[in-house]
Amino acid sequence: LAVFLAIVIAMGWMFARLPSSFLPDEDQGILITSASLPVGATQDRTERVLAEVTNHYLNEEKDAVEGVFTASGFGFG
């Protein structure tokens, strides 16, 4: 009984010490967005979509965005 009580107390103490925030303290504030186009989409179409995404972040979300980096031309299918 004493061992069981010691385990329960230890578990309660460890639970209280766990971090409770959703985001870790080392969050760098980076957002990754993926744009998936249909199979066979041209590079020009992909660049237009990325330009729209960039425009959205830099104009409509400008208070929260410092910069945008885009990469295109790779896929996994």
Tens digit of each residue's pLDDT (9 = 90 or more) over 50-68: 999 999 999 998 888 889 9
Q: Is 0.85 surpassed by the pTM of this model? A: no
Rounded to whole angstroms, the Cα distance separating 46 from 35 reads 8
What is the spatial distance between Cα 75 and Cα 77, in angstroms, rounded to a whole number? Answer: 6
Does 70 have pLDDT greater than 80?
yes
- Residue range 5-54, pLDDT digits in tens: 999 999 999 888 887 766 666 767 788 888 888 988 898 999 999 999 99
Domain ranges of the chain: 24-77
